[in-house]
Amino acid sequence: MKRFAPALLVVGVLWSTGGRAMDVEHRHAEAMLQRMCSRCHAVGRTGTSPNKVAPPFRRLGENKLYDPDFMQRLQDGYSSIHRFMPTFRFGRDDAEAVVNYLRAIQEPQKPK
């Protein structure tokens, strides 16, 4: 057991460091989305959207978030057909953080 202890320590440190990095990334993405989108959308894991037609971000669905074009659309300038929604552009790192955050908060899809 003693010879495995250093390896377990290294794995534990790497695991906790990776988790903290993801937590920092999620907080950063959530703060950006709060600043840019919360006027209309519920950004977090709970709450209702202030604008009744704006979906809560936790209900965007896995299909959209795993679409390879979604992150690129965030970088190119994301907008919708909704005429009141402004266009938002994210740098690559911010777009990746937003996608990771949105994936993390998704509610399970209800069967149809």
Per residue in 39-91, pLDDT (tens digit) is: 999 999 999 999 999 999 999 988 888 888 999 999 999 877 777 888 889 99
- Got the DSSP string for 19-66? HHHHHHHHHHHHHHHHHHHTTTS--SSS---SSTTSPPGGGS-HHHHT
* Residue 59 is assigned to a structural domain of this protein: yes
Token pair 């209702």: residue: 48
* Residue 110 is assigned to a structural domain of this protein: no
| pLDDT number for residue 47 | 96
Element of type H or E holding 7: helix 5-37
Domain coverage including residue 13: 5-105
- CATH of residue 72's domain is 1.10.760
* Residue 112 is assigned to a structural domain of this protein: no
Domain count of the fold of the chain: 1
pTM of the model: 0.75
Per residue in 95-109, pLDDT (tens digit) is: 999 999 999 999 987
Give yes or no for a contact between 25 and 100, defined as CB atoms under 8 angstroms apart: yes
